[in-house]
Amino acid sequence: MVDFGAQYAQLIARRVREARVYSEIVPHGTSVEAILERKPAAIILSGGPSSVYAEGAPGIDPALFTSGVPVFGMCYGFQLMAQGLGGQVASTGTREYGRTPVTISQPGTLLAEMPAQHNVWMSHGDTVTQAPSGFSVLASTEVTPVAAFEDLERRMAGVQWHPEVLHSEHGQNVLEHFLHDIAGCRQTWTMLNVVEEQVEKIREQVGEGRAICALSGGVDSAVAAALVQRAIGDRLTCVYVDHGMMRLGETEQVRRDFEEVFDSLDVVDAEEQFLTALAGVTEPETKRKIIGHEFIRTFEAAEVRVFGDAQQGETVFLVQGTLYPDVVESGGGAGTSTIKSHHNVGGLPDDLNFELVEPLRALFKDEVRAVGEQLGLPERMVWRQPFPGPGLGIRIIGEVTKERLDMLRQADAIAREELTKSGLDREIWQMPVVLLADVRSVGVQGDGRTYGHPVVLRPVTSEDAMTADWARLPYEVMEKISTRITNEVAEINRVTIDITSKPPGTIEWE
Ligand code: XMP
C-alpha cells in the first residue's frame, strides 16, 4: 500500500490482513522501482488529505500503471488513478463528508452481489468526472458521477469512498473483490504468519543480545514478551512492578499466570515507595507524572540488577507492547528507536545503549489477542480487560492512601466478580470503579446513620478505547453489585453509575 498520508493507513493494512493477504505500507514518494522490487501482487493507493490539484500534492509516477501490477485506489488514490490514466478530476465545489448513499449502476466484479443502494463513508472535495478509457463506471452518488470504476483487463479498480472504515457498508467485500477476484491474491496470510514474521524480525534485531520487558499484567506486554521469548529464549528477563495500586489479588494472579509462561520473572514490591511519593497529591496529572516517574526509577533499578554486568558498549533491548493506536506517526515506522534518556541511568555504564523492540506496533488490540492465542497464552491473560498503568491511583478522586486503596480494591473486586458471573466480560470493554474519596453522603444502615463515600461504576463498550459508549448493564447485575458493595465495604454507602459516552467523558475519571 502506498500511503498518501491517510488517516486510516494501518486500518487499510489491517483490512488487507483480514482478507488473508500479506501487506506492507510504503510512504508516497517511494520510487516505482523500489515498489516493484518488492514484487507486490497488487498495489493499493490510499486516501490522503490533499487535493490532486493542490500545489505540491503528492503524485504517482505513471510508470506504476504500466507495470502490469494490479492497482486499487481509494479516495485520493482513486483520483490519482483517474488523473494518471487519462480520466478527469474536477474541483466541483461540492463536497461529501461522512455517510453517503451510493447507487450501483452495474456491479461488475468489484461491487458484485451488493445492494444497488447502500451507505458508504466519504471524505472528499474533488470529484472524478470522467473515468479513464477502458474503465467501466460502476457507481455514482448524488454529486459524484464516477464513484467507482474497474478495468478487468488491466486488473485495476477504485472507489471514491473509504471501504476500510466500519461505517462503509460492504467495505470489506469491496477490498476482497479487488484482492481475490481482480488481482488474484492468494488467501494464505494468518496470525501464524504474524508470529513467524515477528519472531524472525526480533532475532534479526536482537542478535545475540539480551532484552528486558516490563510486564504490566496486561495482554499487550504479555504478548510482546512471549514473542521475544520465543525468539531469544532465556536472554529475555521480565520485570513486574507492583506499585501498590493493583487490584485485589492481582499481583499474585499475575505471578502465577506469568510463571507458567515465562522463564524468568522479577517481581518488584514498590508499594511503599509509590505511596510515599503520592502523599498529599490530588491533581490528576501530577499523580500520573509521579507514578510514571517512580515507575521508571523502579524499572531502572531492576535493570541495574538484571544487567549490572552488561559490557561497555553492549546494547540492551527493551521490549514494549506498543500497539498501532499508540503509535503517533503514520506509515508504521521502522519499528526501532534508541531511548537516549536511558543513557546515564544510575549504575549503568555510560555508553550502554537501549534499543526498543516493539513487535506489536502494526497491530490492533483484537489482533494482539489473536496472536496471544496463537502463542498458546492462557485465556485469562489474553482476554484480560484493559487496566491503566497508574492503576487504582487514578480511580481515587482525591489523595491516594493505603486505606482508600483497600476500600476501592474491595468494591472493585465485587464489581468484577459480579460482572464475570453475569457472563458479560467480553461484551464490556472495561468497568472501572471510581472512589469519590473526598465526597461523603448521609445514609442509613441497620437503623443507624452512616456518613460514607460513594463509588461510581463506569461500564463501557468500545472497540479501541478511542471512543466509547456507556454500557447498558442489566438491572439485576447493577442491583447485585450495589447491594454487595454497600453491605460488604464498610465505608461505602452509595453506588452510582456513570452514563456518559466518550467523548465527552473519558473512560477513566482522571
Ligand atoms: P481514557 O480514560 O483516556 O482511557 O478514556 C482510554 C483507555 O486507556 C486506559 N488508560 C491508560 N492505560 N496508562 C495505561 O496503560 C495510562 O496512564 C492510562 N490512562 C488511561 C484506560 O483504562 C482506557 O482503557
In DSSP notation, 113-177 reads TS-SEEEEEEEESSEEEEPPTTPEEEEE-SS-S-SEEEETTTTEEEESS-TTSTTSTTHHHHHHI
220 marked as binding residue: yes
Atom of ligand 1 nearest to the CA of 468: 5
At residue 51, the pLDDT reads: 78
Residue nearest to ligand 1 atom 14, measured at CA: 388
Angular region, 331: left φ>0, alpha ψ -120 to 50, beta rest: left
Angular region, 108: left φ>0, alpha ψ -120 to 50, beta rest: left
The Cα-based distances of 267 to 163, 288, 383 in angstroms read 46, 22, 22
What's the 388 CA to ligand 1 centre distance in angstroms? 5
At residue 23, the pLDDT reads: 87
What's the 402 CA to ligand 1 centre distance in angstroms? 22
Mutate to test the pocket of ligand 1, among 397, 466, 507, 509 (most ligand atoms within 8 A of CB): 507
Dihedral sign, CA of 96, 97, 103, 107?
positive
At residue 435, the pLDDT reads: 98
Ligand 1 close to Cβ of residue 284 (< 6 A): no
Pairing of the two strands 236-242 and 265-269: parallel
- Cβ within 8 Å of residue 276, ≥6 positions away: none
Atom of ligand 1 nearest to the CA of 462: 24
Rounded Cα–Cα distance for residues 510 and 503 (Å):
14
Atom of ligand 1 nearest to the CA of 506: 5
29 marked as binding residue: no
Ligand 1 close to Cβ of residue 502 (< 6 A): yes
- Cβ within 8 Å of residue 417, ≥6 positions away: none
Kindly report whether the global pTM for this prediction surpasses the value 0.80: no
Residue nearest to ligand 1 atom 4, measured at CA: 507
462 marked as binding residue: no
Average pLDDT, the chain: 89
At residue 180, the pLDDT reads: 98
At residue 263, the pLDDT reads: 81
Cα radius of gyration rounded to whole Å, the chain: 27
CB-side neighbour CA atoms (13 Å) of 105: 14
- Cβ within 8 Å of residue 321, ≥6 positions away: 216, 218, 219, 220, 221, 222, 223, 224, 225, 358, 360, 368
3-state secondary structure 241-264: EECCCCCCCHHHHHHHHHHHHCCC
CB 208 within 8 A of CB 51: no
* Beta-bridge partners for 199: none
The list of the chain residues with pLDDT below 70 reads 309-313, 325-353
Atom of ligand 1 nearest to the CA of 429: 24
At residue 347, the pLDDT reads: 44
Rounded Cα–Cα distance for residues 428 and 426 (Å):
6
DSSP conformation letters of 472-489: ---HHHHHHHHHHHHHHS
Residue 260, φ and ψ in degrees, nearest 5: -65, -35
pLDDT digits (tens, 9 = 90+) for 483-508: 999 999 999 999 999 999 988 899 99
At residue 327, the pLDDT reads: 60
Query: Does the interface predicted TM-score (ipTM) exceed 0.90?
Result: yes
pLDDT digits (tens, 9 = 90+) for 180-219: 999 999 999 888 888 999 999 999 999 999 999 988 888 9
Rounded Cα–Cα distance for residues 333 and 327 (Å):
9
The Cα-based distances of 407 to 228, 277, 333, 431, 488 in angstroms read 38, 20, 44, 17, 10
Atom of ligand 1 nearest to the CA of 432: 22
What's the 386 CA to ligand 1 centre distance in angstroms? 8
Ligand 1 close to Cβ of residue 417 (< 6 A): no
What's the 426 CA to ligand 1 centre distance in angstroms? 18
Rounded Cα–Cα distance for residues 11 and 362 (Å):
9
At residue 352, the pLDDT reads: 52
Ligand 1 close to Cβ of residue 390 (< 6 A): yes
At residue 326, the pLDDT reads: 66
| Residues forming the active site | 75, 162, 164
Rounded Cα–Cα distance for residues 206 and 199 (Å):
10
Mutate to test the pocket of ligand 1, among 508, 509, 510 (most ligand atoms within 8 A of CB): 508
What's the 222 CA to ligand 1 centre distance in angstroms? 17
What's the 223 CA to ligand 1 centre distance in angstroms? 19
